[in-house]
Amino acid sequence: MSLHPNADPHCIFCKIVAGQIPSRKVYEDDDIYAFHDIAPWAPVHFLLIPKQHIPSMAQVTPEHERLLGRMMVLAPKLALELGCRPYPEGGFRIIANTGADGAQEVHHLHLHVMGGPRPWARG
């Protein structure tokens, strides 16, 4: 599959979206892709990303409102489908690491969605 028109050819998440690097898919539509984290911190740990290359939350603009809104609406739905327990006894964490101080390692905007019974490996 070819890279998205906005892709960064050096970005590993753009390559995952394009199917050039394998991933365990959780969800996909025209604009959004979700897949299991390769090094999970929690029993449920997946990443929700826009297909277009946006480096981080620091680059979002009003034109991304609908896209980010859709990601935030999808996150709880997918969390439950993947085994997170219902609120309030269960629940999940949604994290968007941003920049060096935010401990961001992959510079393609992503939401971590983590949940499941504790203890977790980290966090």
| 87 versus 123: smaller Cβ distance to ligand 5GP | 123
Q: Is 21 in the site for ligand 5GP (CB under 6 A)?
A: yes
How many Å apart are CA 77 and CA 80, to the nearest integer?
A: 5
- Taking contact as CB under 6 A, which single stretch among the options 32-40, 59-67, 77-85, 113-121 is the one that binds ligand 5GP? 32-40
Q: Is 110 noted as a catalytic residue in this protein?
A: yes
Query: If contact means CB under 5 to 8 A according to the sort of partner, which of Zn ion, ligand 5GP, none does residue 11 touch?
Result: Zn ion
Which has the closest alpha carbon to 32: 81, 74, 84? Answer: 74
As a whole number of Å, the end-to-end CA separation of the chain is 36
How many Å apart are CA 37 and CA 53, to the nearest integer?
A: 18
> Residue 90, exposed/middle/buried by CB under 10 A (0-12, 13-18, 19+)?
middle
Footprint of ligand 5GP on residues 41-80 (CB under 6 A)? none
CB of 14 to ligand 5GP, least distance (A): 11
Q: Which residue has the tokens 């739905």?
A: 77
Q: Is 108 in the site for Zn ion (CB under 5 A)?
A: yes
CB of 84 to ligand 5GP, least distance (A): 17
Active-site residue (options: 53, 108, 110, 112): 110
Which active-site residues does the annotation give? 110
